[in-house]
């Protein structure tokens, strides 16, 4: 009696499809990760333009101001209202919301003091928060309800993970 060996059969298994799907998800998530924040602080003696000095001076005077949604005055500010106040002091008009500022202002590869930093804090893929780069790895921003305008280190993982980009309408 002769026995016939049956060759093993190969079939497309769900395991192979699962592996491909996992790899695609990882690639997608990697694309959603925050961009690297590059900064340039002026060297001693290099100085800042008059506009940048006015932006920073106004933002620094706003430190401690209470957060107020939609606020654009020294009695209460939200993040984009702080930007509008500081840039208005330097004679530079900017759009009202963080996302409009992010989409409409000239983008930068490297932020200098006085430039704007944008973040996706809502997880919607658009700018929902903005701060003003202060220099030395710090930003001035209006963080949210119940808080006050403050200076915050950018090295905090929360900000690094949500960073979208920088814009620089100031000369």
Name every residue whose Cβ is closer than 8 Å to that of residue 63 and which is 6 or more positions away in sequence. Answer: 140, 148, 149, 150, 151
Neighbours of 49 (CB within 10 A): 13
Is 131 within 8 Å of 152 (Cβ atoms)? yes
- Chain centroid to CA 120: how far? 6
4 is catalytic: no
**Residue among 4, 32, 40, 79 flagged as catalytic:** 79
Axis-axis angle for helices 50-61, 79-89 (nearest 10): 130
Length of the chain: 171
Return the closest-CA partner of residue 129 out of 154, 102, 156, 152: 102
Instruction: Give the pair of three-digit tokens for residue 20.
Output: 């491909």
- Residue 129 catalytic? yes
Catalytic residue ranges: 79, 129, 141
């Amino acid at each position: 009696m002769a026995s016939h060996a049956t060759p093993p059969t190969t079939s497309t298994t769900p395991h192979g499809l699962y592996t491909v799907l996992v790899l695609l998800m990882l690639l997608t998530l990697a694309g959603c990760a925050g961009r690297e924040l590059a900064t340039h602080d002026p060297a001693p003696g290099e100085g800042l333009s008059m506009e940048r000095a006015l932006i920073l001076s106004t933002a620094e005077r706003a430190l401690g101001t209470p957060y107020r949604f939609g606020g654009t005055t020294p009695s209460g500010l939200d993040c984009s209202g702080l930007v509008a106040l500081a840039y208005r002091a330097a004679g530079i008009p900017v759009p009202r919301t963080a996302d409009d500022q992010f989409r409409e202002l000239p983008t930068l590869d490297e932020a200098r003091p006085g430039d704007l930093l944008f973040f996706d804090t809502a997880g919607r893929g658009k700018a929902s928060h903005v701060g003003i780069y202060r220099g030395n790895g710090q930003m001035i921003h209006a963080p949210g309800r119940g808080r006050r305008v403050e200076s915050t280190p950018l090295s905090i993982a929360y900000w690094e993970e949500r960073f979208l980009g920088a814009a620089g309408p100031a000369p």
